[in-house]
Amino acid sequence: MVNQLDDPLFNLPLPRDSFERKVVKQYNYPTIANAYSTIHHYVLEVKQTLSELEGPTTVTTSNTIVTLDQFDYTSNTITTNNINNPVTSNISFYANNSNANSGIVATLSTVSTYKPVYVYEHEEQLNERYREIKILKKQYIASVLLELENILNGWFSR
* Tens of pLDDT, residue by residue, the chain (158 residues): 677 777 777 678 889 999 999 999 999 999 999 999 999 999 999 999 999 888 889 999 999 998 888 777 888 888 888 889 999 999 888 776 666 666 778 899 999 999 999 999 999 999 998 888 888 889 988 998 888 888 888 777 66
Angstrom CA distances, 90 to 16, 56, 122, stand at 43, 17, 32
Burial state string for 71-83 with b = 16 or more CB within 10 A and e = fewer than 16: eeeeeeeeeebee
Q: What pLDDT is attached to residue 105?
A: 83
Q: How far apart are CA 114 and CA 84, in angstroms?
A: 6
Report pTM.
Answer: 0.70
Q: What pLDDT is attached to residue 99?
A: 60
Q: What pLDDT is attached to residue 37?
A: 96
Q: What pLDDT is attached to residue 33?
A: 96
